[in-house]
Chain A
Amino acid sequence: MAPKVLILRAPGTNCDEETAHAFTLAGATTARWHVNRLLEQPQQAAEFQILCFPGGFSYGDDIAAGRILGNQIEHHLADTLREFRDAGKLILGICNGFQILLKTDLLLPKDATGPQATLAANDSGKFEDRWVWLTVTGNKCVFLSGLEALELPVAHGEGKFVPRDALVLEALRANGQLVLKYAPLQRTETSPYAAIVSGGGDAPAREQAVPYPANPNGAIDDVAGLCDLTGRVFGLMPHPERFVDPTQHPNWTRGPHRDVGAGLRIFRNAIQYFL
């Protein structure tokens, strides 16, 4: 039976439809629920295998991106979602969803000093929509299984990953949680065909080795996405749902022909996990 995906929306969520489409293409059945519905009936979360926080501007990103919905979850749904995760299920946060997850304890739990990391305002000081090259490090994350490198678009104003301090960063690295990183731009001059890059190698260990705009926001250690200790909770700034069809790629008219977009792999991996 196809796994069931709960796509949770709130006022200002705006990538829920295309994210549902991506999961459907990958073979899931999907439901898009307003967060109020889950707040009223939290036990219904148990009917789903995958929970997804899609992109957008939940509650306008007023005060800080993802803050208000993150607080709502912490105060009213923390137990429900912890049970969900501990039942061996999957949680995905894309862009605003990643921002929301980081404001909860689902991805990087707060410790005595407070939150371990944040997604701060881009170094460029503005919202930007552009495509980036990404490399996958390690094999901890369920969603990135079998992927080495891919291209995806980012579209955000607050996506700069900042760990609280060097210790936090070192721990995350040691635990293999920094699973998705911005990679240097692959120059297209040598070949006019921009293809999916295969095998980009590990990103260097130095802080922010990849310059703007390849690292579009100044993220420390070029971190574009990270997972929890189980590898089943994953948040990323880039938008995989915006590359499930070949014609979504900015260079598709330059060839070569592709059947699907690379982002679809992330959704297929999630479905595959339950088959």
Chain B
Amino acid sequence: MTLWEIDIHPAAGEEDRAALRIAAAAHELGLAENLRVAAARGFLLQGAQLEATQAEKLAVELMADRVVESFVAAALSDEKLTAPPPRLARNHADSIFCVTVHPKPGVMDPVAQSALAAAADLGVPLEAVMTLRKYWFGGASEADINALSDRLLANEAIEQAVIGSLSIQQLDASRTYQVALRHVPIRQLDDEGLLRLSREGQLYLQLVEMQTIRSYFRELARDPTDVELETIAQTWSEHCSHKTLAGRIAYQDEHGERRFENMLKETIFAATQEIRKQLGSEDWCVSVFEDNAGIVRFDDHFNVAFKVETHNHPSALEPYGGANTGVGGVIRDIMGTGLGAKPICNTDVFCFAPPDAPAYSLPPGVLHPRRVMRGVVEGVRDYGNRMGIPTVNGAVFFDERYLGNPLVYCGNVGLLPHDKSFKQTQPDDLIVSIGGRTGRDGIHGATFSSAELTSHSEMLSGGAVQIGNAIEEKKVLDVLLAARDRGLFHAVTDCGAGGFSSAVGEMGEKIGAEVHLERAPLKYAGLSYTEIWISEAQERMVVAVSEEKWPQLRQLCESEGVEATAIGRFVLTGRLQLTYAGIEVANLDMKFLHKGRPPVVRQATFSPSPLLPLAPPHKLDYTDDLLKILASPNVASKEWIIRQYDHEVQGGSVIKPLVGAERDGPSDAAVLRPVLTSRRGVVIACGMNPRFGDFDPYHMAASAIDEAVRNCIAVGADPRQIAILDNFCWGDCEKPETLGSLVRAALACHDLSLAWGTPFISGKDSLNNEFSYTDAAGARQTIAIPATLLISAIGQIEDIAKCVTMDLKLPGNLLYLVGETKDELGGSHFALVNGLAGGQVPTVDAETARRTFAAMHDVIHAGLVRSCHDLSEGGLAVAAAEMAFAGGCGISIELGTATDVAVVLFSESNTRFVCEVTPESAANFELSLAGVPLTKLGKVIECDRLTISVNGKLAIDADIRTLKEAWQAPLRW
């Protein structure tokens, strides 16, 4: 069989952008100083009777854009495919290397799939297509080329780089599969054998859990099949069962010991239950900690659902694919909430190591943080934008301890009618899989994500890394919502971690299920029954459909080109029965599967560190400190990221992530109007302060909650209707002090949630975020991430016309500081840029904060505030600078007596806002805020300067353009 290749090059005179990008990236990494590059993209075509004229036709009519591109089409063996293109400048005596990068067999290649269908539509039937990228290099040694391939061109987890000509014979990932039922002899294993089985089988279960499984099968007097063992491991994984946080914990801190039967239930859930009780008939929570996402009431017709997930481990190995499928996964969570919600916006929060880390200091197996960041941003961009879901809110936080374990939080908000907010699988419903086909990709994601990463993870877990296909998911979304509105199914859930195993297991938990695994449509032949059952292939949903409605659902799916297949049935047996081609391969008691896991018992301790004094340097002028904080990557403008996300699709954008006269100021929260015929708005914000956690996780959690809520308040949200989500990313919680810090954070969540009547409605944890490797000296090293709690908030505003933004509006207006500034420089960015340790970390005064938020809402709702900005990293000085340069106006602030100038300017005390008020509104504004701390700061001025005087002396004096440039330059990539 002849394979054909079509290479697409930039036409003569057009810029070779892909080559420029590679050259720039190689330069960043310090590889091959005199590198010259040409790049092309290409397609490999396989067709039984494919002829040259047909290949040419495809090139002309489908693959190449003849206005700006040219092509080379030839049989794969043809030398002109590897010949360097004329645009690559030649030096005599230098060798040219041609490198082709293509996906490994079985890796999702959406463009190839589309090309296959489009070629058929043009009357050229093909058997298979594969996409590839090609590069020609001059001015580099073979060693350079190998380094480039490894570190820049290809990611080993999913791609293959080939130097020279390709030797592929056939494009087919199929294998032959002979069904052979496998049992795992577990009954006779001793404890050591159990642990080895857990480790080598990638089950990642603990001894007591393995022992429980052994006892269960000893009682049954048989050994488990491989798929039974996999099913149990996946159901009991940390990722799926959250057994640590929902388990027994003995917690010890300076107040003594406290024992939890179920830590989450007794802290965070308990606060929500109490709030709901207090609200009584006014309760606006609809479904909390039950479904895929938390659901709250929005208006008379609709509810909103919110979920935030993490996709850390896959993103560490393959940033693009990891983030891509992270977004795809959380969108499916929302699609599978109730009877299906319509996704209305995405949120994305990332934690990376500083992007300027020198390449040579990286431990083995770690990707450079710059590459991770680029890949993650592109992965989020490509999935969210293609799905047509605006990405409206996020944050990026940098710390060296994220080097081996970057964090990628993906959130999604959905809208669903009141009467579609609950689901109930019915006995005898068909189990129908909708969407993508099942492949060998994504094997062992659920158990893998519960393990610690090591420098060998890439080799071990390649199957856990995937690439998404957003358009497949969009197609599924389109038919799913149509089917929901026609009442065609009783229940729906997504195939996420654990694949069918998890989805069917969850939906059939209270009934029972039988699944015929050979009925699942496959991407290619040769999957074993176990692979089919646990594959986490993307873009699949499972619905429970009555026999009667099935034909209608099938017809609807067909009409939009979506595959739907009945793979089994929910039957009232209380058992999970799997068959493959008539052979029973699993038969498990649902009760054992879901309730049989032995409780995890853990110790947790926390000992507060002594308060060390922080001695700020004494000086007169702090302008330089302000410039440094503005330029620190946590504070610096994220415009490079934000603009790559479509934040306006769906047409409901009210407050965008970038605001102000030149549309480049940092908005506190996003506001959108999910129902285009209504004026009611949804407000989305987040809060996160990992640096505070190094002092006290309690105050870190309280500060994160305060930040998320005050961001909502700052744009006009009603504090009586803000719901929040927790996402705990922690290190190894088998270490008592690590778990202790988590429990302490959860206690703060409980306390503040209850004090404010701000319920948690959903949450997720990702533990074991540690990275182990052997350093050059042969010593074992472990990097644990800092305790990182993300709080996401969803607020509401009755009339979006009342919203305010953070950019200054008009010279002559007055400026006020709402809230109290305390001596809280511990963990601040002032301390960071000056290398200062110690100090008091910011705390939250819950009662004052509650009154402040209520009063702030009143003045914004009454239209007394022209602009409002919350105070966070960098304190008052940074907030004032951002308001000034976003509005294109100057500021003059005069502060009276202060003992410590640095505290006044840079303390990061919580619950504070700067408000701009017209002189006419000032009296009313002051009156309305009589009950909360209020300081008159100064005013908005015509000239382009920010000046802050303290004790009559000028402490900050800068041109707002200088400030803006300092803030914009660092991440202007």
Interface residues of A (CB under 8 A from B): 11-15, 17-18, 21-22, 34, 36-37, 55-57, 59-64, 67-68, 71-72, 75, 114-118, 120-121, 123, 125-131, 153, 155, 162-164, 188-189, 192, 194, 239, 241-242, 244-245, 247-248, 250-251, 253-255
Contact = CB atoms under 8 A, between A and B. Distances in A.
B214 interface: no
Given A13-B388, A18-B676, A55-B649, 8 more contacts: A12-B475, A15-B651, A57-B471, A59-B471, A67-B65, A116-B67, A242-B649, A248-B654
Interface residues of B, number: 70
B25 interface: no
A194 B645 CA distance: 24
B111 A239 contact: no
B70 to A, nearest CB: 12
Nearest to B389: A14
Nearest to B673: A247
A36 B114 CA distance: 16
B66 A114 contact: yes
B47 interface: no
Interface string B448-472: 0000000000000000000001110
A129 B643 CA distance: 5
A244 B651 CA distance: 9
B121 A71 contact: yes
B65 A120 contact: yes
A11 B673 contact: no
Interface string B641-684: 01111111111111110111111000000000100110000000
Given A36-B561, A120-B67, A242 B651 contact: yes
Nearest to B64: A64
12 contacts: A14-B386, A15-B649, A59-B471, A60-B110, A62-B110, A62-B471, A63-B115, A120-B67, A131-B663, A251-B661, A253-B804, A254-B809
A155 B800 CA distance: 24
B385 interface: yes
A239 B650 CA distance: 11
B883 interface: no
B122 interface: yes
Contacts of A15: 388, 649-651
A35 to B, nearest CB: 10
Given A127-B381, A189-B888, A63 B118 contact: yes
Give the 7 A-B CB pairs with smallest separation, nearest first.
Answer: A14-B388, A18-B651, A62-B114, A118-B67, A60-B471, A188-B661, A62-B111
Contacts of A64: 65
A68 B810 CA distance: 50
B471 A250 contact: no
B805 to A, nearest CB: 4
A60 B559 contact: no
Given A60-B110, A251-B663, A192 B66 contact: no
B559 A247 contact: no
B62 interface: yes
Contacts of A153: 648
A59 B470 CA distance: 10
A128 B644 contact: yes
Nearest to A54: B388
A80 B470 CA distance: 31
Contact of A129 (B114, B646, B673): B646
Given A60-B114, A62-B110, A250 B659 contact: yes
Contact of A75 (B113, B121, B650): B121
A14 B387 contact: yes
B651 A21 contact: yes
Contact of B803 (A22, A68, A253): A253
A250 B663 contact: yes
Contacts of B677: 21
Interface string B1-29: 00000000000001101000100000000
A191 B206 CA distance: 66
Given A75-B122, A155-B649, A34 B111 contact: no
Contact of B474 (A11, A17, A239): A11
A246 B537 CA distance: 43
A266 to B, nearest CB: 14
B651 A189 contact: no
B37 to A, nearest CB: 15
Contact of B61 (A57, A71, A241): A71
Given A71-B61, A253-B803, A127 B644 contact: yes
Given A60-B470, A127-B385, A192-B888, A14 B661 contact: no
Contacts of B387: 14
A184 to B, nearest CB: 14
B63 interface: yes
- Of residues B560, B646, B659, which shows the largest number of chain A Cβ atoms within 10 Å of its Cβ? B646
Interface string B466-493: 0001110011001000000000000000
Contacts of B650: 14-15, 17-18
A189 B117 CA distance: 52
A247 B21 CA distance: 38
Nearest to A160: B68
B526 to A, nearest CB: 26
B661 A189 contact: yes
Contacts of B646: 127, 129, 155
A211 to B, nearest CB: 15
Given A11-B561, A17-B650, A128-B644, A57 B115 contact: no
Contacts of A120: 14, 65, 67-68
A14 B559 contact: no
Given A12-B471, A189-B661, A192-B889, A60 B386 contact: yes
Nearest to A125: B17
Contacts of A126: 644
Contacts of B63: 63
Contact of B659 (A125, A127, A253): A253
Contacts of A114: 66-67
B796 to A, nearest CB: 16
A127 B643 CA distance: 8
